[in-house]
Homo-oligomer: A and B are copies of this chain.
Amino acid sequence: MEYLVRGDLCFSIDAAHIETKEDAYLHVKDGKCIATYENVSAELSSLEIKDYRGNLILPGMVDLHLHAPQYAYRGTKMDLPLLDWLNINTFPEEAKYENVDYAKAAYENFVEDLKESPTTRAVIFATLHKDATLCLMDLLEKTGLNTMVGKVNMDRNSPDYLTEHSAEESLKNTVNWLEEIPQDYQHCHPILTPRFTPTCSDALMEGLGKLMRERNLPLQSHLSENKAEIEWVKELCPDAKNYGDSYDRYGLLNRTVMAHCVHTEEEELELLMQRGTFICHCPQSNTNLQSGVSPVKHFLKRGAKLGLGTDVAGGANLSMFRAMTDAIQASKLRNCLLEEKDSALNMEEAFYMATLSGGQFFGKVGSFLPGYDADILVFERKRKGVRKETLLERLEMLLYTEKELFDLKAKFVQGRRIL
């Protein structure tokens, strides 16, 4: 499978630069990006050209953190802080996924919308229910999106109606879930998913660490989201050096994405950087649930591994473009209100986080640089404007206006068209 994609290319080359190539060609072979060209050489002139002249061509967006079962109630009870929101909104809703018919109906809506969104890669929380999680994975596998999905582990400090009653039960459910995932899945893969330290006993964490190493699995969880949560972790784990250490002491940070890190201080950041842990910034969720604004500009400058997440349903929107502008906007308010100089993110940095930077959790993903997976989005402007815009201006308009001005016309994952 080899072809050229013609159009207006925009892709990150590093945190500070978006490469823009007007009316250029992206060469794709066997699902990988080979090169970009201004013109087609004689040698390549026999290749199929997918002609999207005049359209914006971007790498697929990488959503490093969202909760599939929360999609059904996104945008409700947004005026509660995190721990109340979990108890009042989230836990009763997640309990419904014990019923696989309910789960299927809800997950069908979620998966359909994710497929039609700018996201090509996602790292997803399900619930603690094995069968509902398998159902979600089945639906996702069929989309062609490249995803990681986790059955949640939680064995303490959870309501009776939504808990596993021991570490053993939780680990056994997890192994059963892993065994039942069809061997022939190409696109949807498991990721271990302890909900967060408050709901996971030491024995459970230890067992998940073993499972992670035995089966060579990645892991996702939450870290340092909210001050009340952090205080709670201090009480629960008096021996841990910091919240991050409550995972690290069981070896859980080594192939891991940790959502939030709103209140991560230097010692915890050092630990995450040593372990190569990905920090997933979830700006809208951190705003809605009044957690704060993560110091992402600082993380970027320090060279931490970093991605962006919608965190549905702490965030109400599935769009990674919205996540980008939310990240820029939240960072600007951090800058103004804390009078921190230079903590505002710009478009280049937000775009980098949503593509090339977050994409590394999946491998060489998130750019059109040679050797990267060919995850491609094609956007057509709905109505021509009265102004002549630069390519970078058009990209910025897309991020801020989304479907108001642009239609997602085609979507490719690893070179295969899925939309």
Taking Cβ atoms with an 8 Å cutoff, the residues of A that contact B are 72-79, 93, 102, 105-106, 109, 113, 284, 287-288, 290-293, 316-318, 325, 328-330, 332-338, 344, 346-347, 383, 385-387, 389, 393, 396-401, 403-404
> By the criterion CB–CB under 8 Å, are A400 and B74 in contact?
yes
Q: Assess the A397–B74 pair: CB atoms within 8 A.
A: yes
Checking B109, B287, B387 against A72 with a beta-carbon cut-off of 8 angstroms, the contacting residue is B387
Compute how far the CA of A389 lies from the CA of B290 in the bound complex, rounded to whole angstroms. 24
Decide yes or no: A74 and B290 within 8 Å by CB, A329-B284, A337-B333, A346-B79 being known contacts: no
Q: Are A336 and B288 within 8 A (Cβ)?
A: no
Contacts beyond the supplied A292-B336, A293-B336: 17 A-B pairs with Cβ under 8 Å: A73-B389, A73-B393, A74-B400, A76-B393, A77-B396, A78-B328, A78-B396, A78-B400, A79-B346, A109-B386, A288-B329, A288-B332, A290-B336, A293-B333, A317-B401, A318-B404, A333-B337
Residues of B within 8 A of A336 (CB): 290-293
Secondary structure of the A contact surface, majority rule = helix
Known: A79-B328, A317-B404, A347-B78. A385 touches B334 (CB 8 A): no
A316 to chain B: which residues have CB within 8 Å? 325, 400-401
Contact B77 A393 (CB under 8 A): yes
Taking the closest CB of chain B, its distance from the CB of A372, in whole angstroms, is 26
Q: Which of B317, B328, B333, B386 contacts A106 (CB 8 A)?
A: B386
Q: Is B76 in contact with A396, judged by CB distance below 8 angstroms?
A: yes
Residue of B nearest to A336 (CB): B292
A-B contact list, 17 entries, CB within 8 Å: A73-B387, A73-B393, A74-B397, A74-B401, A75-B396, A75-B400, A76-B393, A78-B328, A79-B346, A102-B386, A290-B335, A290-B344, A292-B336, A293-B336, A293-B337, A316-B325, A334-B337
